[in-house]
Amino acid sequence: MKNKNTTSNFKNNFYKNIDQLHLAPLWDVLSNLVTDFPKTKAVPHMWQWKKVKEHVLTAGEVITAEEAERRVLVLENPGMKGESKITDTLYAGLQLILPGEIAPSHRHTQSALRFIIEGKGAYTTVDGEITRMFPGDFIITPSWTWHDHGNESSDPMIWLDGLDIPIINQFTSSFAEKLGQKRQILQKPEGHSIARYGSGLLPVNNTLSSDKVSPVFSYPFSRTREVLEKMKDNDKWDKSHGIRLKYTNPLNGGHAIPTMATFMQLLPKTFEGKYSRSTDGTIYCVVEGSGKTIIGTEKYSWHKGDIFVVPGWEKFKHSTKEEAVLFSFSDRPVQEMLGLYREEIAE
């Protein structure tokens, strides 16, 4: 019969031997790999617009848009410092384009969204089609499409960038390429994509594409706000989210971007939402109004321009004293496609 010392030596030798062969015991790490509930390094946090705007504008004195290629201040989740992540799977940042500047044309496998916070009349060009940008507009830069940004207005332009960088890097599928010129050649008239695909009408000979990204790359806030206004008197309010609409691909009704869900929601005056939680960590940007969101045990009072993050599977609820509008995005499409998405709403 082996004594305790013999047993201990035997185990130590076993672990040493398997380590030399690059093997490891699952029983030592199983509880961290297969968890009883979702775990994330992301923590709740809010970036107050009145504080961060000053630094975004100062960045314009530090470096030009052309020198930086993309002059952006990354919104780093405090729980993941140095990782350029706002959640485990998503990146977010605030981009500045000053009057007369051009952020040169490039493309990459990462999909991007632009949500305009301040300024008007600057432009982005995506695969040969230009669109002007105004506050509240949601604009898509699909994967591997040429895009450049410029500002021909007289005011600075600031928007929220959202990209699926961590997802793409997790799959080791990142590629990028520079066009070698500031602006790409325009190939379509302004408004072409929304006129062709965003009116509810399609050419008779139109065939469905296997491309999952929306053919409409600019969703003007003026249209979105009008829809919310009409729905608030005729639709049932969700007890947690008010009236929450998702941006869709008009060809298949799916999400506008295959890796990132995008939403706009209206919270009525004196709204007191029920607690809910879902597996997709979500980034919110305040478009109109003010209110409060309790995330876990933390309470955040927000106003126009503020950005806050709700980590995955963290309980939260919204409340308002005045009517408010929120834009948000998350990695929900990926989770839905893999059959992993879950949501829970308190009764």
**How many helices (H) and strands (E) would you count in the chain?**
8, 22
User: Would you state the pLDDT for residue 208?
Assistant: 63
Domain range for 315 is: 45-345
Smallest Cα–Cα separation from 32: which of 22, 23, 41?
41
Contact present, 43 and 79 (Cβ < 8 Å): yes
Distances (CA, A) of 214 to 138, 205, 219, 226, 261: 12, 18, 11, 21, 12
User: Would you state the pLDDT for residue 74?
Assistant: 98
Distance CA 59, CA 111 (A): 24
Q: For the residues of 184-253, what is the DSSP string, one character each? A: PPP-S-TTHHHHHHSSS---TT----S--S-S--EE-HHHHHHHHHHHTTTSPPBTTTBEEEE-B-TTTS
The reply to whether 35 falls in a domain is: no
**Please, which residues bridge with residue 161 across strands?**
93, 114
Contact present, 213 and 219 (Cβ < 8 Å): no
Which H helix or E strand runs over 305? none
Distance CA 5, CA 327 (A): 62
pTM for the whole thing? 0.94
**Please, which residues bridge with residue 338 across strands?**
none
User: Would you state the pLDDT for residue 346?
Assistant: 84
User: Would you state the pLDDT for residue 204?
Assistant: 76
The reply to whether 26 falls in a domain is: no
Distance CA 17, CA 19 (A): 5
Query: Domain total for the chain?
Result: 1
Which residues of the chain, if any, have pLDDT below 50? none
Span 245-295, pLDDT tens digits: 999 999 888 999 999 999 999 999 999 999 999 999 999 999 999 999 999
The contacts of residue 338 (CB under 8 Å, 6+ apart) are none
User: Would you state the pLDDT for residue 199?
Assistant: 76
Q: Where are the alpha helices (DSSP H) in the chain?
A: 4-20, 30-33, 49-62, 65-68, 165-170, 192-197, 221-231, 332-337
The reply to whether 34 falls in a domain is: no
Report angle CA 172, 177, 182 to the nearest 5 degrees. 150
The reply to whether 147 falls in a domain is: yes
Amino acid identity, position 160:
L
User: Would you state the pLDDT for residue 207?
Assistant: 67
Distances (CA, A) of 224 to 74, 149, 265: 27, 23, 10
Sign of CA dihedral 123, 126, 131, 134: negative
The reply to whether 309 falls in a domain is: yes
| Residue 248 phi, psi (nearest 5) | -125, 160
The reply to whether 160 falls in a domain is: yes
Distance CA 193, CA 130 (A): 10
Distance CA 97, CA 117 (A): 12
The reply to whether 9 falls in a domain is: no
Eight-state DSSP code of residue 2: -
* CATH at 126: 2.60.120.10
User: Would you state the pLDDT for residue 127?
Assistant: 94
The reply to whether 334 falls in a domain is: yes
Count CA atoms within 13 Å of residue 58 on its CB side.
5
Distance CA 292, CA 317 (A): 8
